[in-house]
Structure 1
Amino acid sequence: MAEPNDVLRLEGLRKSYNIGQPNEVEVLHGIDLCLDRADFAALVGPSGSGKSTLLNLIGLLDSPTDGELYLRGTPTRDMDDEGRTALRGRHIGFVFQFHHLIGAFTALENVLMPWMVAHGRPTPEILEAARGLLADVGLEKFTERRPDQLSGGQQQRVAIARALVTNPSLLLADEPTGNLDTRTAADVFELLRRFNAQFGCAVLVVTHDPRLSGSCDRTITLVDGEVVSDERNQARAAAVPPGA
């Protein structure tokens, strides 16, 4: 059972593919994990360890084979697609290595997109909030620029603002700095850090970069579909990742 302060709780989470067929395979083997609003955690592990599968389950993009996933105390395993989509839209923001901005839209319109998908035409209040988020990421003068008029780092900043426009409880960042130069990557990491504190939004960063994971408060290591360690890091990442 999820605790009141939990943003995310996984209990015995399993995921299999090709169920009932000769090539059936279980990718995740009973994952137990909890995140609260203060958490700024890294998920690491070798290729093939199940990180992408786990991230898809946490993001409510897929359903587990067994076990339960609680998001803000709500059990999700038996939800239909419509229910998962609605819950995801209310409580989860996504930032990816490649920003996936819509080229025909301005920065402001891209930021507004998750809210518009959930609610329709933007209100004056959400327009103000979106402009405020762009100001928070240092792009208040770029609201009307399209993605091809922005640098890679600026595009990723737009993506972060977009992820936060619905005021999510959980931000999932999949290799968020993997396509950026070292200095820009450090800036993006600091933005995620600041918003974790400012919005009380739990952050889970999937990364192969040991500098990035070591700069998070907590490192969760996944190997062969199992959590083999979940450790609090000695040096909290008030500083930028080493080497930045």
Structure 2
Amino acid sequence: MSDDVLRLERIGKIFNQGTPLESTVLHDIDLRLGRGELTALIGPSGSGKSTLLNLIGLLDVPSAGELYLQGQPTRDSDDATRTHLRNQALGFVFQFHHLISAFSVLENVLMPLIIRSGRPSTEAIDLARGLLREVGLEKMADKKPTEISGGQQQRVAIARALITRPPLLLADEPTGNLDTKTAESVFDLFRRINSQFGCSILVVTHDPRLAASCPRTVQLVDGRIVSDETGNLTSA
């Protein structure tokens, strides 16, 4: 069995194909993410990062190439298969946390399991409380998202993304809406989660300092991977 949790082979994406507005956003993307890797995806605005993340998240379909998730090809999968794979293999953290204000912090963490199977089990509730403890918010479990800070809300979103124990966590500018100190704290949490839970993490960031703290950095420019390096990032 492959050690790759994600494999992209010659992935391309064309919008408005066959029309005067046709635009090629991604060109022949080859990328592998091993199990337990922490990787930063960087690049200027308009480089194709969001498009690539949408493809990896199975929210869109490539125009060319093949995307393997947990060794399973996905390009020709039907909607039901893609939804199942997304729910089983992926966790998502966004710049804006999308917490539901009517529910408590604990209920927000449990939401993916509630959607999947209805009323959460005692074991699921224990898992959610454990995740809140891991992100330093165990005492906030009964509060509403509006009663905690922005950085704390993002930590809740991270715990929510981990509740299904996904092998791959996708983070799209997760610190972009936070001040520098809080952003560093949240990113430290990503590194700890990566080490403790062993899940692969792909994080899109514009912050070169945060990217530099990832063991691996992939740079995208004009829809092409121009560098794929391990070690500290020296330039953005």
Q: Deviations over 1:123-182 (max 9, x none)?
A: 111111001000111111111111100011110110000000000011111111111122
Structure-2 residue corresponding to 1:21: 19
- Paired-residue identity, %: 65
Structure-2 residue corresponding to 1:53: 51
The Cα shift of 1:234 comes to 4.0
Task: Give the letter aligned to residue 211 of structure 2.
Answer: S
The whole-number CA distance in structure 1 between the counterparts of 2:45 and 2:176 is 15
Aligned length: 233
Structure-2 residue corresponding to 1:177: 175
Work out whether residues 214 and 232 of structure 2, in 8 Å CA contact, stay in contact via their aligned partners in 1.
no
Task: Give the letter aligned to residue 153 of structure 1.
Answer: G
Counterpart of 1:98 in 2: which secondary structure? coil
The whole-number CA distance in structure 1 between the counterparts of 2:58 and 2:117 is 19
Counterpart of 2:140 in 1: which secondary structure? coil
Task: Give the letter aligned to residue 195 of structure 2.
Answer: A
Alignment of 1:84-99 (within 5 A): 84-99=82-97
The Cα shift of 1:119 comes to 2.2
Structure-2 residue corresponding to 1:211: 209
TM-score for both structures, normalised by structure 1: 0.93
Task: Give the letter aligned to residue 140 of structure 1.
Answer: E
Out of 146, 149, 152, which is 1:151 matched to? 149
The whole-number CA distance in structure 1 between the counterparts of 2:85 and 2:39 is 22
Task: Give the letter aligned to residue 159 of structure 2.
Answer: A
Task: Give the letter aligned to residue 9 of structure 1.
Answer: R
The whole-number CA distance in structure 1 between the counterparts of 2:8 and 2:113 is 27
The Cα shift of 1:186 comes to 1.3
The whole-number CA distance in structure 1 between the counterparts of 2:30 and 2:73 is 14
Q: Deviations over 1:198-219 (max 9, x none)?
A: 1110011101111111111111
Out of 191, 194, 208, which is 1:193 matched to? 191
Q: Deviations over 1:79-114 (max 9, x none)?
A: 122211110111111111111101101001100111
Structure-2 residue corresponding to 1:39: 37
Give unmatched runs, 5+ long, in structure 1: 236-244
Out of 217, 220, 224, which is 1:226 matched to? 224
Structure-2 residue corresponding to 1:165: 163
Out of 90, 98, 101, which is 1:100 matched to? 98
The Cα shift of 1:38 comes to 2.3
The whole-number CA distance in structure 1 between the counterparts of 2:27 and 2:178 is 33
Task: Give the letter aligned to residue 54 of structure 2.
Answer: N
Counterpart of 1:141 in 2: which secondary structure? helix
Work out whether residues 213 and 232 of structure 2, in 8 Å CA contact, stay in contact via their aligned partners in 1.
no
Structure-2 residue corresponding to 1:239: none
Query: Alignment RMSD, CA only?
Result: 1.1
Give unmatched runs, 5+ long, in structure 2: none
Alignment of 1:103-122 (within 5 A): 103-122=101-120
The whole-number CA distance in structure 2 between the counterparts of 1:171 and 1:159 is 12
Question: Quick check: 1:137 aligned with 2:120?
Answer: no
Q: Deviations over 1:4-56 (max 9, x none)?
A: 11100000001111112122111111100000122111001111110010000
Question: Quick check: 1:125 aligned with 2:123?
Answer: yes
